[in-house]
Copies of this chain bind each other. A is one copy, B any other.
């Protein structure tokens, strides 16, 4: 009998879905904080968050089903045995993260972050002209489930042009007007009014947004980061915002998380920060989708098939 540990905050409906997929397994539900090295070592399958330090490359672990799209802490050598299939939750976050990114985009275009600051000083003060998405070229970096969903939202609102930036060449998807390779982003940066990043965290994307790249942008361009914070060095972000290299930025992720209390980024007027909350389990349907993905992958594991959302350990992306 296979041992399955579930560390997601599931309800009875979710449990029924998992128990149907894992019929015949011993399924336990725990808080991630209750996990120990011994418990982890006993598991054939873990579904949900687990501290990487507890895994110790356990050879028994056949499937680790993450609840996130990003797999960065688990692809570090030594964390997982070669025998473990690592599956992510790609597809669960498209709606939540793309909507959060859209809300941040409109907030910046309409200067709502500045108006909130004025409000806190009881000040009825006009901050001047704003911008419409219909006048904006939006460059979306990372065209997975989340990026594509965002592209379609801004297109539906009438964005003037949407350029998608991805690793590999391919057909231009619906909602995107033009494609560009991540290795050639210099070509489209001068055109961007809004640059939105959904890049995951890995070696390729580390410090991808360099000072040189920001310098190619319009002085009033807006940068939104809802991918991973390490895509831009904290010093570079501070510099481009303090020195007007770009107009403003909104970041749900930062290079260090939580962002330290003494970071000078906090008090920048032209930076909006949210504490990595775009996804997580902040929309109820995210958990529903994760449970569906996990149930499918558990069933496949039990019949010896690879999970649908198997992560390539070299890249951190779905294979």
Q: Which of B118, B126, B274 contacts A115 (CB 8 A)?
A: B274
Q: Are A116 and B116 in contact (CB under 8 A)?
A: yes
A83 vs chain B, min Cβ distance (A): 35
Interface range on chain A (Cβ under 8 Å from partner): 35 or more
Residue of chain B at shortest CB distance from A262: B122
Q: Residues of B contacting A127 with CB < 8 Å?
A: 277
Q: Residues of B contacting A262 with CB < 8 Å?
A: 122
Q: What is the 8 Å Cβ interface bit string for chain A, positions 93-107, against chain B (1 contact, 0 not)?
A: 001100110111011
Indicate whether A257 reaches chain B with its CB closer than 8 angstroms: yes
**Partner-binding segment picked from A22-30, A36-44, A59-67, A131-139:** A131-139
Given known contacts A124-B275, A257-B124, A116 and B117 CB-to-CB distance under 8 angstroms: yes
Indicate whether A130 reaches chain B with its CB closer than 8 angstroms: yes
Q: Are A283 and B117 in contact (CB under 8 A)?
A: no
Q: Are B282 and A115 in contact (CB under 8 A)?
A: no
Indicate whether A272 reaches chain B with its CB closer than 8 angstroms: yes
249-300 of chain A: CB within 8 A of chain B: 257-259, 261-263, 266-267, 272-275, 277, 280-285
A67 vs chain B, min Cβ distance (A): 16
126-151 of chain A: CB within 8 A of chain B: 126-134
Indicate whether A172 reaches chain B with its CB closer than 8 angstroms: no
Q: Whole-angstrom distance between the alpha carbons of A153 and B261 in the complex?
A: 38
Q: Which of B134, B267, B273 contacts A95 (CB 8 A)?
A: B134
Q: Are B104 and A282 in contact (CB under 8 A)?
A: no
A126 vs chain B, min Cβ distance (A): 6
Residue of chain B at shortest CB distance from A257: B124
A281 vs chain B, min Cβ distance (A): 8
292-314 of chain A: CB within 8 A of chain B: none
Q: Whole-angstrom distance between the alpha carbons of A116 and B113 in the complex?
A: 7
Selected A-B contacts with CB under 8 Å, 13 pairs: A95-B132, A99-B133, A99-B157, A102-B106, A103-B107, A103-B110, A103-B112, A106-B106, A112-B272, A118-B275, A122-B267, A129-B284, A157-B157
